[in-house]
Amino acid sequence: MRNQRTTLEMIKIIIKYEPIYLILMIPQIIINSILPIFIIYFPKLIIDRLIADEVNYKEIFNIVIIYGLILLVIRVIQVYLQSRVSLIGERFTLKLKKEIGIISSEVDLEDVEKTSFKDIVIMGSKASTITQTLDLIQIIITNILTLLSLVYIIAQLDLLFFITISITFIVKSLFVYYVYRKNKKIRTSVSSNTRVLNYLNNTAYNHGSAKELRTNNLQEWFLKKLSDCRDEMVKIQYKDFTRYALNNIIMKIIMAVQTIIVLWLLAIRYIDGVITIADFTLYFSSVATLTLTLNNISDKIGAYKQQMLNLLDYNKLNGFVNKPIKTRDLSKDIDLDNFSNISIKFKDVSFKYPSTDKYVLKNINLTIDDHEKLVIVGLNGAGKSTLIKLLCKFYKPVEGEIYVNDINIWDIPNEKYNKIIGAVFQDYANLSFMLKENVSFNEDSNMALVENVITNVGLYKFIESLENKYDTYLYKNYNSSGIELSGGQSQKLAITRAMYKEPSLLILDEPTASLDPRAENEIYTNFYNISKEKTTIFISHRLTASTIADKILVLNEGEILEYGSHNELMIKEGFYATMYKKQRDAYKY
């Protein structure tokens, strides 16, 4: 029953993307079912006439011509249908791979960070070969139709032949089921090993990792990890190979014995005058074809079950995106595009990461007024970046709620909510595209705005000195003429993206970590000038930005320790004042 539901789901997916694929299956099934019977039966007609008392060569010639012409027409139609189906299958695969990419990009960050999700992506991606499943169904149906015709032919002679063949089929089916059960058990371990192997291979060719491996003489250590992972994969593959090799040996022996028995039985009937030499040829060809057909059905059913597992994993991947979330439809309540003024409120917010019991944030109550500049400070692990992740809807609070303009952020569609936020994170990523595309993430960049934000972060002179200027590619993954940026230049480029969006809410999570104090001060001054009409949140270990902020939030072990302006907290002479004085003295010289 479960396989039937999965098959229907698969058919629905194909109808959604390439319905003509199903239409072309019908003539293929008809032709492929008839062809084996046609090939078996026509030689009998020719042999019957060759051994007749009076040989009619004209009649034999006509039969041969008709046989050849029909065979030619069938083959031409087969080739045409196969080429069309192959083309449509490739097109479908590309469409489904794109769909899988879209699904993966829409999954919540808390799911993306789970290793189980990464494994499901690897397994679910195999569903892009879903047309192969329909091919399997087509082959199974074709073989069953052929099987019925062959059983009818053989049953007219002796059911003993069919019993002999059935034994071979049962043995093969038992092995196929055994292999299916084994593969079902090891799917997760194979995908897990593949994930690790992909990571190690990518790390080996990653520019930053390559430098680390060489400067620290880690090649031998790293290669051992890579070798161990590959050895584990080889062990899994070797077990599969051993199972299949053993099966092939057993099946070859059984089929050889079956062939001897069938030839012996047919020979006895020919000697006894029960059948003619033409009948001998017909029945032997029928038995051989029937044996291959039954084995083929068994193999394809096993392969079909494997494809069903792929489809189930694809459905699991879909499930990550389609998790039910209770939200209100605000499309009629408020114009979400008109968020030029932003106020934020955290109400009794607490949070702990999935699969852990430790709270990273506890009972956070905070109001950020429109156009306010807030700096969040604290030691490592205080919960600063987690607070931003909650505000960006990467995670949902375990307790409490977050409001933007008195609207729960989880009631606002992500597509619209993301338009009002411009964020730069610690683990930002510049891509191997043109500089202007890295700013706008769009092929049709607003060059006036691109140049404006580039100037604001201090990259204008550098880019103008390049031969291709804003059309210069980064790195060499996409274009061999790509350039490398320094750490500071990379971070400045990442900052331009947040500024290019012209968001109402600007979030900067350690945006100047790779910059020296002078460059950092320049960036913050520019930020202050361009964000006067924006609500802005800064996170930084260095407290340069705190002096120009309206408010400062001090977090410690997930709780609010201090809150106020720079002057208020300095007068208080608490945790913040101590941190500020230490940094000020350290950078004095």
Confidence of residue 489 (pLDDT cuts 50, 70, 90): confident
Angle (deg, nearest 10), helices 277-321 and 130-155: 150
pLDDT at 349 over 50: yes
Question: What is the residue type of 22?
Answer: L
Phi then psi for residue 502, to 5 deg, are 50, 55
- Residue 402: the pLDDT is 94
pLDDT at 199 over 90: no
Q: Which of the residue ranges 86-95, 100-109, 157-166, 442-451 has the most confident prediction, judged by mean pLDDT?
A: 442-451
Structure tokens that stand for 560 in this block: 């609010």
Query: For 4-37, how does the pLDDT look when each residue is reduced to its tens digit (9 = 90+)?
Result: 556 676 677 777 777 887 788 888 888 888 888 8
Please compute Rg for the chain using Cα positions: 35
Nearest of 112, 130, 129 to residue 121 by alpha carbon: 112
Confidence of residue 326 (pLDDT cuts 50, 70, 90): very low
pLDDT at 586 over 80: no
What is the distance between the alpha carbons of residues 258 and 250, in angstroms, rounded to a whole number?
12
- Residue 526: the pLDDT is 66
Tell me the average pLDDT of the chain: 78
Domains of the chain: 1-322 (1.20.1560.10), 344-427+504-587 (3.40.50.300), 431-484 (no CATH)
Structure tokens that stand for 28 in this block: 């293929």
Q: Which of the residue ranges 6-20, 137-151, 371-385 has the most confident prediction, judged by mean pLDDT?
A: 371-385
Lowest mean pLDDT among 37-46, 224-233, 319-328, 339-348: 319-328
pLDDT at 547 over 90: no
- Residue 555: the pLDDT is 92
Higher pLDDT: 84 or 532? It is 84
Task: Determine if the pTM surpasses 0.85.
Answer: no
- Residue 328: the pLDDT is 44
Name the H helices within 216-347: 219-271, 277-321
pLDDT at 222 over 70: yes
Percentage of the residues of the chain whose pLDDT score is greater than 70: 77
What is the distance between the alpha carbons of residues 469 and 132, in angstroms, rounded to a whole number?
47
Structure tokens that stand for 146 in this block: 């052929």
Question: What is the residue type of 539?
Answer: I
**Mean pLDDT of the 268-290 span:** 82
- What is the spatial order of strands in the sheet that 399-404 belongs to? 361-368, 344-351, 399-404, 407-408
pLDDT at 191 over 80: no
Using CA atoms, how far residue 558 sits from 351, 353, 369, in Å, is 9, 13, 22
- What is the spatial order of strands in the sheet that 535-539 belongs to? 421-424, 505-509, 535-539, 373-377, 551-556, 559-564
